[in-house]
Amino acid sequence: MKKILCFALMAMLVAACSTPEKKAEALIKDYLKLSLLKPETYKPVKTILREANSPNDDLDLLKEVKQLQDIAMKYDLAEDEVRRAKNLMALSSGPYQSAFAKNNYEEAKEDFDKANAKIEELRTKGKKMYDDVVTKLKSTPELVGYKALHNFRADDNNGNTYIGNVVAFFDKDMERVTYVFEMDEYDALQKYIKEEILKEE
């Protein structure tokens, strides 16, 4: 019984001495084990723990911004398709169309109509999402949890060591990882918010 109490006391002391950064590293390690090629080679390098405050660190908002980026990319592709189809239509039109040219024109016209319909669909969806994001960005900041800027080393299947850079988000009680972004992806989202959304307001 004394041994059990002693071990329990030691565990409490270790827990009390553990820093928030160490707790964050332990949670991140458990999370990354599910995706690393060789989880046993994982070694933390540096962890910086910070508060995560809305609106910019609201996960729902960041996921919406990510969708907006995707919509913008698809919109650009659809516009390229409209231009391509329009050029083909111009090349295939004329008073003396051959059967071949007429067929090319009809195919290009079909692609033109589809691309324009896609643009309209993306415009409607993007506008609604954009308005929602702007509304959230104007909200009063509040604590939504914590985030850690985390660097680590790990090996791939070829035995090569690489450096990973992630931003891990935690709940308010620091009990679990709620989401992990690659550092570059997180930075790109914040840049998109600043340069593509807020500048319009």
- What integer pLDDT is reported at residue 97 of this predicted model? 74
In three-state form (DSSP H/G/I as H, E/B as E, the rest C), the secondary structure along 52-75 is EECCCCCHHHHHHHHHHHHHHHHH
Helix axes 59-92, 99-137, angle to 10 degrees: 160
Q: Are strands 177-182 and 38-53 parallel, antiparallel or unpaired?
A: unpaired
Torsion angle in degrees (nearest 10) through CA of 88, 94, 99, 100: -30
3-state helix, strand, coil in the chain (%, to 5): 60, 20, 20
Report long-range pairs for 9-15 (Cβ below 8 Å, ≥24 apart): none
Burial class (CB in 10 A: 0-12, 13-18, 19+), 170: buried
User: By the 8 A CB rule, do 62 and 166 touch?
Assistant: no
User: What is residue 13's predicted lDDT score, i.e. its pLDDT?
Assistant: 38
Structure tokens at 122: 């993306």
- pLDDT of amino acid 201: 59
Written as tens digits, the pLDDT of the chain (201 aa) is 444 444 444 444 345 447 899 999 999 999 999 999 999 999 999 999 999 999 999 999 999 999 999 999 999 999 999 999 999 998 888 777 788 888 989 999 999 999 999 999 999 999 999 999 999 999 999 999 999 999 999 999 999 999 999 999 999 999 999 999 999 999 999 999 999 898 765
**Residues in contact with 82: Cβ distance below 8 Å, sequence separation at least 6, in sequence order:** 112, 115, 116, 119
Mean per-residue pLDDT of the chain: 89
Q: What's the pLDDT tens digit per position in 108-150?
A: 999 999 999 999 999 999 999 999 999 999 999 999 999 999 9
Give strand pairing partners of 49: 148
How far CA 65 is from CA of 11, 57, 74, 185, in Å, comes to 43, 11, 14, 11
Residue 94 confidence (pLDDT)? 74
Query: Hey, how many other C-beta atoms are within 10 angstroms of the C-beta on 66?
Result: 15
For residues 52 and 144, the answer to whether their CB atoms sit within 8 Å is: yes
The domain limits of the chain are 19-54+142-200, 59-137
The pLDDT value recorded for residue 2 is 46
Q: In sequence order, what are the residues at sequence separation of 6 or more whose Cβ sits closer than 8 angstroms to the Cβ of residue 24?
A: 47, 49, 146, 148, 150, 168, 170, 174
| Residue 64 CB coordination number (10 Å) | 16
